Structure 1
Amino acid sequence: MVNKSAHNALLDWYTTDGRHELPWRKTNDIYHIYISEIMLQQTQVNRVRDEYYPKFLARFPSIKTLAEAELDEVFVLWSGLGYYSRARNLHKTAQLALNGLPCEKKELLKLPGIGEYTASAICSFGYRQNIPVVDTNIARVLKRYFGLLEVQDKTLWEYAASFVNAADARAHNLALMDLGSLVCLPKNPQCEMCPLRLECKGKGEPELYTQKKKKEYERLELFYALYIKDGKIALRTSQEKLYKGMLVLPNTEPIEENFIAAFKHSYTKYRLTVNLYHVDKITDEFVWVELKELENAPISSLTKKAAVFIEKKGEIYGF
């Protein structure tokens, strides 16, 4: 049974040191909370808070406005966040939940792009239900606090449920999240500052609980064409899993005399080498996009990187 002093110490710490200023914590709008949770997956808090979250909600302030928008519009505001399936699922979910997101976890799990964590977060942070939430930061805190090594996710969620403070589950979950983000760090945790240090079983060797298998990445080499004419660039709609539905550069055969530049790019599990070639025609289906409007088009971060070379090499190739 969890010592009440641990609960009290955790909430006291959260009161004074928690990230209360985050805009999605100062609203009761379920849709806004949902948007923040999707954006925060694989994206730094500061980038979401300062750039993407306010811009997205300014354009799509309600689930209805998002549902009625074209997917291309959603991609434009998502550009640079990566993991574009999140944007597609946001759009699909909005169309399926025009009357608002359901308040039951099992119903939320039926919607595109909403998994165990996101459903729990919406229920806890939005609907203020007495349920556990486990993200990467909370998982690290729980593993160290309970001394859990090589534990399966199901077991971790069970421990989280046993630890929830029924008096204020929302604040409890947010406190654990902030503790993992600010104090119980993957490397060099600040154990002396932790409100749970007295009962923490992992404080002696905290690194034991953060050891991970080395990630294996798939390396790909891509060959793209820069077909530019009269201040416009040719782009195609991607049908591949990589950037599906977004405007990307056309593929081309690598011809040495047409080579412009190469750059590295990372995307999820892929490590890409991108080669750019100047061409004066392409056979694939494409659309023209004004170069001056390129940044407002639904393009990927990879295409944005390529645009830098258009600026650099424009005079040489007559762009």
Structure 2
Amino acid sequence: MVSTTEVAKHAGVSQTTVSRVLNRPEQVKKETYDKVMQALAELDYGNASAASEQHAEPAKRIAVLFAEDCAPAEFARLREFTESAQASGYELTGHALTGNESMEDSKALVKGVAGVIGIGSLPAELKEYLKEASPYLQAEEAVDEGKPFDGRKAAYLATSHLAEKDHQQIAWVGGDLPDGSERLQGYYEALAHHQLKLRKKRIHSTQSPTDFDAIAAELRAFKKPTSAFVAASYEDGLQLLDSLKSAGFKVPKDISIVVVGEPEGDDAELTAVKPPSAAQPFAQQVVDRLLQQIEGSETAMPAAEDELQLSKGNTVKKFKERQKSKA
């Protein structure tokens, strides 16, 4: 079996650092932690936390078995699993399987634990043993990914939000999306529900950034100017925002924007109708599910929220308030 000294040399850190990663990962910087975990994976280190096993109470200990096909990114989740287990009063130990272990070796890794979490393709014989020997959960099968994003409903809610803010001249802008026609249908339905006229000249299909500039330039030509936009995606909303600002419009003082979808990063500038949030982070879902088995209180996984969410962006203003501000 590979020693911690070899792991330390391979990762370019001290043996003490390796020990901290294995036993007290919360005390290690993420960059260092990831480096050591990658070294563990590359060296097929067979026991990712043997030392902590000697100190943890058997009845309050969970083992995580990483199959040999796990990528380094999977090992990096050990920190999340550890924190989730510790929050519930359990110690957690991780084991990176090499594929060369005998059944007796594998059994020894989980001896005396309260439960086992498997990640990756564990050997069939080992999985059968775990199912019989202790509470066991395969991580990939335990998470609740929630419902798929309903673009049509989101567009309906985005348009309705603007209508409820007394906007009547609401335009649509969007590029080519897989469910673009469904999102546009949601926009149509909301206009009809709020008894607002559907005007084809306010439906803008975009293919490039210059299309957004053209839309912004034409706004002043309308007898009844557009007071708000529904953007088919967050990216469309950002492009529109930039073009409106370049054309001299102030958002939301002059024009309001609500987008369908959410940003990929931390950007929360635009008011948006977002997909329902996952009920819990991945590691927390898995640990909680296992603890339900361990403590004899297993229930259905908590579902993700069914309702779409309106974010607290700053690109919407009530139409009457906007009118008053111009007076």
TM-score by structure 1 length? 0.21
Larger radius of gyration: 2
